[in-house]
């Protein structure tokens, strides 16, 4: 992958693993060069539980994406979810040695690095440190303090924490599949990147990503991430319920759910029946669509109520924290018929389905604009943004080194926060071996 402007997103999900190769076109949209998709066999509820199978699935998806794009894939941006993810709020401050100098990137970096040193519970590791708002010398509610004067720089942080072993296992799978881990991102943040508009993030919005094994939540208000949460069940439990309730095999249950399923039982008439071929030598089974919808409805209500509880915990009912833009549903589960109406009915909040198509170039394959691909499109966007950031820093360095070429104080290239974090993360994975 010699082209610096190309990035690869890798979504390691419970039902599928998707690799997507893309670059930015002349209009700032994403041109998808190739996609690969494989069944995910070694992942349960967002957590790797079979290394060998996961490596095989990753390789299969990456091989397909390479064949489709004609690019050699080396470096990937990976999403992480799973029931072990939790988030917390933390405030921290630094005292600046020289308050006559304006606050710059380095001060913020120092503050963020300080939060990374927080002592977590045994077996936990910080994945993201996301600044919410800053205080300079007691002056509150500052969004970006760069360029201001002040001695004490303080900030509130949203800290996302995950299990060390789960993160290591993902790193191990990537390495064994012959790839390099560019960086790791919380999946609901990647999905948000792909399907939410800036206006929605400002107004206040809850993104619900219903995957196969987990349902992820990310809440934004005033353009800043306020709350994240991962709930340990998704579309697979609905399939499981259909399998049990109708006494059929999993493959048939999944087909029934996607082809005929609805989250709203009232929609089906009593006489609508589907006939399912029986196992060898057995009679076909007849299942009423009303019954099927009842099974789906019961489970979807449970998932939504649990998510709604998280939205209430964030404080949605306080007027300052009100989510004016309501809810955006994405992920494979968002394709279930009438789920939008059910979510609106339970939560009383405006709801829409989030498609990642507004960031894709107009000639993209229509299949890619499905909510199913929201996470991988978001990961790809993150990869492209990081490439751009790296190039910008590189250009800055070249300019600086030209200026300081005659000075003896040239201290070699300065790394971006992202690169430092990436290195820290890779060291952490290497030490784990």
Note the pLDDT tens digit of each residue in 60-82.
Answer: 999 999 999 999 999 999 998 88
* Poorest-pLDDT segment among 56-60, 178-182, 347-351, 410-414: 410-414
Residue 433 confidence class, pLDDT cut points 50, 70, 90: low
pLDDT reading at 335 higher than 90: yes
User: Using CA atoms, how far apart are residues 192 and 340, in angstroms rounded to an integer?
Assistant: 18
- 222 and 208 Cβ atoms separated by less than 8 Å: no
Judge whether residue 418 has pLDDT over 60: no
Residue 10 in tokens = 């890798």
Q: Per-residue pLDDT tens for 192-222?
A: 999 999 999 999 999 999 999 999 999 999 9
Task: Dump the DSSP string for 154-220.
Answer: EEEEEEEEEEHHHHHHHHHHHHHTT-EEEEEEEHHHHHHHHH--HHHHHH-EEEEEE-SS-EEEEEE
What are the DSSP E strand ranges found in 281-379? 285-288, 327-330, 351-353
- The CATH class that applies to domain 235-299 reads alpha beta
Name the pLDDT band for 411 (thresholds 50, 70, 90). Answer: very low
| 398 pLDDT above the threshold of 50 | yes
pLDDT score, position 27? 86
CA dihedral 423, 426, 427, 431 (to 10 degrees): 180
3-state secondary structure of 162: strand
pLDDT value for 271: 80
Using a cut of 0.85, tell me whether the model's pTM lies above it: yes
Between the CA of residue 8 and those of 31, 133, 252, 429, what are the distances in Å? 12, 31, 33, 20
Q: Which pLDDT value is given to residue 109?
A: 92
| pLDDT average, residue stretch 416-423 | 58
Assess whether pLDDT exceeds 80 at residue 402: no
| Confidence at 428, pLDDT banded by 50, 70, 90 | low
409 or 125, higher pLDDT: 125
Structure token pair of residue 264:
């709203």
Can you give the pLDDT at residue 410? 45
Q: Give pLDDT, residue 409.
A: 47
CB 147 within 8 A of CB 108: no
What is the model's pLDDT at position 276? 86
Read off the pLDDT band of 408 (50, 70, 90): very low
Say if residue 228's pLDDT is above 60. yes
Asked if the model's pLDDT at residue 374 lies above 50, the reply is yes
pLDDT (average), residues 397-407: 72
Report pLDDT for 366: 84
Q: What is the pLDDT of residues 240-258, one digit of tens each?
A: 999 999 888 999 999 999 9
Nearest to residue 17, comparing CAs of 423, 419, 376, 414? 376
Report the mean per-residue pLDDT for the chain.
89
The pLDDT confidence band at residue 317, using thresholds 50, 70 and 90, is confident
Percent of the chain residues past pLDDT 90, beyond the cut: 66
**Cα–Cα distance for residue pair 419/429, rounded to 1 Å:** 15
- Residue 419: its pLDDT value, please? 58
The pLDDT tens digits of the residues spanning 129-179 come to 999 999 999 998 898 999 999 999 999 999 999 999 999 999 999 999 999
Q: Which residue has the higher pLDDT, 86 or 203?
A: 203
């Amino acid at each position: 992958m010699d082209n610096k402007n190309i990035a690869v997103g890798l979504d390691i999900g419970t039902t599928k693993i998707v690799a997507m190769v893309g670059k930015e076109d002349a209009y700032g949209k994403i041109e998808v060069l190739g996609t690969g998709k494989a069944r995910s066999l070694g992942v349960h509820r967002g957590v790797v539980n079979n290394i060998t199978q996961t490596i095989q699935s990753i390789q299969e998806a990456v091989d397909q994406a390479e064949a489709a794009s004609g690019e050699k894939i080396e470096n990937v941006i990976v999403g992480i979810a799973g029931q072990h993810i939790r988030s917390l709020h933390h405030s921290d401050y630094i005292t600046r040695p020289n308050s006559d100098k304006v606050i710059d990137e380095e001060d913020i970096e120092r503050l963020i690095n300080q939060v990374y040193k927080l002592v977590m519970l045994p077996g936990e590791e910080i994945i993201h440190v996301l600044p919410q708002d800053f205080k300079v010398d007691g002056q509150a509610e500052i969004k970006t303090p760069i360029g201001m004067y002040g001695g004490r720089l303080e900030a509130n942080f949203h800290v996302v924490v995950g299990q060390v072993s789960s993160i290591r296992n993902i790193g191990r799978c990537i390495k064994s599949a012959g790839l390099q881990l560019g960086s790791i991102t919380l999946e609901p943040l990647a999905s948000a990147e792909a399907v939410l508009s800036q206006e929605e993030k400002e107004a206040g919005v809850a993104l619900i990503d219903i995957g196969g094994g987990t349902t992820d939540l990310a809440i934004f208000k005033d353009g800043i991430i306020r709350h994240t949460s991962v709930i340990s069940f998704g579309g697979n439990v609905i399939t499981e319920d259909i399998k049990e309730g109708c006494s059929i095999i999993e493959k048939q249950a999944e087909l029934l759910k996607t082809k005929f399923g609805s989250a709203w039982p009232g929609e089906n008439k009593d006489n609508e029946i589907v006939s399912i071929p029986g196992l060898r030598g057995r009679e076909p089974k007849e299942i009423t669509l009303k019954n099927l919808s009842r099974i789906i409805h019961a489970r979807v209500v449970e998932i939504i109520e649990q998510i709604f509880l998280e939205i209430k915990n964030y404080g949605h009912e306080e007027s300052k924290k009100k989510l004016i833009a309501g809810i955006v549903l994405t992920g494979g589960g968002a394709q279930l018929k009438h789920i939008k109406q059910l979510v609106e009915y339970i939560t009383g909040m405006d709801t829409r389905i989030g498609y990642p198509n507004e960031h894709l170039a107009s000639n993209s394959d229509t299949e890619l604009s499905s909510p199913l691909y929201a996470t991988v499109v978001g990961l790809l966007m993150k990869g492209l943004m990081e490439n751009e950031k790296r190039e910008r820093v590189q250009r800055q360095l070249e300019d600086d080194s030209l200026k300081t070429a005659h000075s003896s104080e040239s201290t070699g290239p300065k790394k971006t926060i992202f690169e430092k974090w990436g290195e820290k993360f890779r060291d952490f994975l290497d030490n784990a071996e």
